[in-house]
Amino acid sequence: MDLLNLKGLGKTRLETLNNAGIRSMADLLLNLPVRYQDASVITPLSEAAPGMEVCVSGFPKAAPRLSRFHGLTSVTLRLCDETGGMPIIWYNQPWLQNAIHPEDLLTLYGRVDRDKQGRIRMASPVIVKERGILPVYKALAGIPPKTMRELIRQALTQLEDCCPETLPEIIRIKYRLCERNFALRQAHFPETRDNLAIALRRIAFESMLLYQAAAASLRGERAKGIAIQAPDTACDAYWASLPFPPTNAQKRVLAEIANDLNSSQAMGRMVQGDVGCGKTALAFGAIALTAQSGYQSALMAPTEILARQHLESARAMLEPLGIGCGLLVGGMRAKERREALEKIASGEWMAVIGTHALISEGVEYKNLGLVITDEQHRFGVRQRRMLSKKAASVEEAPNELVLSATPIPRTLALVLYGDLDLSIVDELPPGRTPVKTRMVPEDKRDGLYSFIIKEAAEGRQTYIVCPLVEESEQIDARSAQETYAELCNGPLSDLRIGLTYGEQDAAEKEETIRRFSSGELDVLVSTTVIEVGVNVPNATVMVIENADRFGLSQLHQLRGRVGRGAKESWCFLMAAPNERLKTLCETNDGFKIAQKDLELRGPGDFLGTRQHGDTFIPGMALGADVQLLEESSQCLKWIRSPGYETEWARLKESAQKAFASVLDNIAMN
């Protein structure tokens, strides 16, 4: 049965589905809900607390009231049941004023939160017409939720033909997994909560297992590599050339890199460590070993500013060893770019540092032996491999090293980056002053601003990070633009303040961050765009607005923007005190924080899949937990052991079908 045969699917809607990657009946059936509305149980209004997503029912106390403000409309009423009442508000749905009457029994599903005055309310809930556990799919323009549910319902009649079983029976029995057709039926239209839990467990397990199997097969296909013959004393000689002693973790990891470089198989290794653990020194160590054998290295950074900062460090650490260093970025003038290309092609630059420009057309390396990508989650497999293809030898692949300052628990890292070996730098250099982290309630804001003014008077700088770009009626959170305007005209009006955010013009963004980096600004108001790629040792204060809206790992990443110099640094979390944020105040260990974050939110949220809407590993966001993640990893080891060759071959085939395109474009953001 073709998609065109589905009732309610015309040419325009079919095109919408195709643009969303849904081109077959199987694609439609694997388009899983992003979440569920559990309208099977009514929660008394007196028990509905902030943070809960609930179904409530009652009568409006009076007719709904329509208000207008700056071109926006809101419809408000007070819903009452036998236990109490709660304010309800809808934004930009003025027609509701005439659609709801005081005598109507109103059943609503939504999230309970607080307004800007701290009062409990429900904002923009859905009016429930159908009770039960209802699937909610990713919104597609021109396809209403009810239509999408009906299309899925029709497609389920073809389930057995479209979506055959992917897991060998021995795996299903050993790990207590239901059959795939039962899982997909219950994932789309669950009959009970228990059935939904069973279905999501199966789908999440399958997703993680197949992803790992696909990554493992990539790893098994690792090409013959360029062998870098470094003497046994090379690592010690490199460390001796630096003005600081290495940590034991750094010595261990560089030895692992040297061992890989000596191998006939191309290195594929990720170095993961917290901010300040010395990953850059390790990358330069790998470059030094590679240069000794006469091969070039290319280091690709996510931003031009970070690339330029790496170049400064490289010149200080590598040029004394006789290793020529140079920069290639997108914003170069024609003459400057031409000269850079000549020095790369001639081999005068043995260490080439840059951005995506390193993989652009016309860039030719003399003898590329090592490829390094910084901030791994900003680059996909395809981009890493495009850089690798710049190698001079077709028969031998360059060695590949990826760096990540995003602490990820080891099990999750092995799942995500199964095509890479993993080294963890779990030790910080001595003498680093940990960033002091405090939760700051709203009534202490004036004191915070006084502290920022005092720091600025002593020549120090401050970041202020907001969760939104612009003000929103729907979300009670501070926006970067609103905060910037408020501070410029209010408590910080005597300071030099800049504003940056993701959607800002690239040149304007680059210039704002450059001004802050060079000390021309005292305060930088931004969104999370500064999470990576900004290194300002003079910044000593990080303020994070609505900190409870961020995951712990992201808060830790943001905190890592300060504490990079010798001065005492602070991170202030603007939020009411809670146990989750308390973890951040108690430790600076990124791996402990990441593990806690993973336990609290599950792998799907940890990876940002729910926030971004696109499921990074399909099915993972809905049903995965830490234990399931570990079980799927153990299952892969078991099925690849001797005696299960037939099952492993079948699993690998399913994995390659499921993740061929994902593996080619893997990127966490």
Q: From residue 278, give the alpha-carbon distance in Å to each of 34, 98, 192, 283, 425.
A: 39, 63, 51, 9, 8
Q: By C-alpha distance, which of 158, 153, 208, 202 is closest to 182?
A: 202
Instruction: Supply the pTM of this predicted model.
Output: 0.64
Q: List the Cα angle 243/245/251 in 5-degree steps.
A: 130
The answer to whether residues 411 and 633 touch, using CB atoms and an 8 Å cutoff, is yes
Q: List the Cα angle 599/602/606 in 5-degree steps.
A: 100
* Sequence letter at residue 518: S
Residue 578 CB coordination number (10 Å)? 12
Tens digits of per-residue pLDDT, 482-510? 899 999 998 999 999 999 987 788 788 88
What pLDDT, on a 0 to 100 scale, did the predictor assign at position 211? 81
State the number of CA atoms in the 13 A half-sphere of 492 facing the CB: 32
Q: By C-alpha distance, which of 565, 547, 568, 566 is closest to 556?
A: 547
Q: Is the pLDDT of residue 84 over 70?
A: yes
Q: List the Cα angle 643/644/646 in 5-degree steps.
A: 120
Question: Would you place residue 391 in the very low, low, confident or very high pLDDT band (cuts 50, 70, 90)?
Answer: low
Q: Is the pLDDT of residue 461 over 90?
A: yes
- The pLDDT of 427-443, averaged and rounded, is 84
Question: Would you place residue 119 in the very low, low, confident or very high pLDDT band (cuts 50, 70, 90)?
Answer: confident
The answer to whether residues 266 and 225 touch, using CB atoms and an 8 Å cutoff, is yes
60 contact partners, CB below 8 Å, separation of at least 6: 77, 78, 79, 80, 100, 101, 102, 104, 106
| Tokens coding 620 | 């993972």
- The pLDDT of 375-390, averaged and rounded, is 58
Tens digits of per-residue pLDDT, 167-204? 999 999 999 999 999 999 999 999 999 999 999 999 98
Select the more confidently predicted residue: 462 or 405.
462
The span from the CA of 132 to the CA of 110, in Å, is 14
The answer to whether residues 275 and 328 touch, using CB atoms and an 8 Å cutoff, is no
The span from the CA of 635 to the CA of 626, in Å, is 14
Question: Dihedral through CA 23, CA 27, CA 33, CA 34, nearest 10?
Answer: -70
Q: Is the pLDDT of residue 392 over 60?
A: no
The span from the CA of 431 to the CA of 279, in Å, is 17
What pLDDT, on a 0 to 100 scale, did the predictor assign at position 602? 60
- Report the 3 state secondary structure along 529-546: HHCCCCCCCCEEEEEECC
Crossing angle, helix 193-220 and helix 180-188, to 10 degrees? 120
- Report the 3 state secondary structure along 334-347: HHHHHHHHHHHHHC
φ, ψ (nearest 5 deg) of residue 531: -60, -35
What pLDDT, on a 0 to 100 scale, did the predictor assign at position 225? 79
Q: What residue has token string 């497999």?
A: 381
Question: Would you place residue 122 in the very low, low, confident or very high pLDDT band (cuts 50, 70, 90)?
Answer: very high
What pLDDT, on a 0 to 100 scale, did the predictor assign at position 393? 58
- As to burial, measured by CB atoms within 10 angstroms (0-12 exposed, 13-18 middle, 19+ buried), residue 109 is buried
The span from the CA of 241 to the CA of 323, in Å, is 13
The span from the CA of 224 to the CA of 430, in Å, is 39
What pLDDT, on a 0 to 100 scale, did the predictor assign at position 426? 82
What domains can be seen in the chain, in order of their start residue? 41-127 (2.40.50.140), 234-262+277-404 (3.40.50.300), 436-587 (3.40.50.300)
Tens digits of per-residue pLDDT, 234-260? 999 999 999 889 999 999 999 999 999
Question: Would you place residue 350 in the very low, low, confident or very high pLDDT band (cuts 50, 70, 90)?
Answer: very high
Question: What is the radius of gyration, based on Cα positions, of the chain?
Answer: 27
Name the DSSP class of 265: B
The answer to whether residues 552 and 597 touch, using CB atoms and an 8 Å cutoff, is yes
What pLDDT, on a 0 to 100 scale, did the predictor assign at position 43? 95
Q: Is the pLDDT of residue 379 over 60?
A: no
Q: What residue has token string 């809900």?
A: 33
- The pLDDT of 21-48, averaged and rounded, is 90
The answer to whether residues 466 and 525 touch, using CB atoms and an 8 Å cutoff, is yes
The answer to whether residues 75 and 90 touch, using CB atoms and an 8 Å cutoff, is yes
The mean predicted confidence, pLDDT, of the chain is 85
- The pLDDT of 141-149, averaged and rounded, is 89
Q: Is 373 helix (H, G, I), strand (E, B) or coil?
A: strand
Q: Residue 127: enclosing H or E segment and its boundaries?
A: strand 126-127
Q: Residue 625: enclosing H or E segment and its boundaries?
A: none
127 DSSP β-pair partners: 108
The answer to whether residues 435 and 586 touch, using CB atoms and an 8 Å cutoff, is no
What pLDDT, on a 0 to 100 scale, did the predictor assign at position 629? 74
Tens digits of per-residue pLDDT, 585-638? 998 888 788 777 777 766 555 544 333 333 345 455 555 566 787 788 889 889
- The pLDDT of 15-31, averaged and rounded, is 90
- As to burial, measured by CB atoms within 10 angstroms (0-12 exposed, 13-18 middle, 19+ buried), residue 190 is buried
Tens digits of per-residue pLDDT, 265-319? 888 888 988 877 889 999 999 999 999 999 999 999 888 888 888 999 999 999 9
Q: Output the furthest CA–CA distance in the chain (Å, rounded).
A: 86
Q: List the Cα angle 325/326/329 in 5-degree steps.
A: 150
C-alpha 495, offset from chain centre? 33
Question: Would you place residue 394 in the very low, low, confident or very high pLDDT band (cuts 50, 70, 90)?
Answer: low
DSSP line for 584-607: HHH---HHHHHHHHHHHHHHHHHT
13 contact partners, CB below 8 Å, separation of at least 6: 142, 143, 147
Stretch among 68-77, 335-344, 404-413 having the lowest mean pLDDT: 404-413
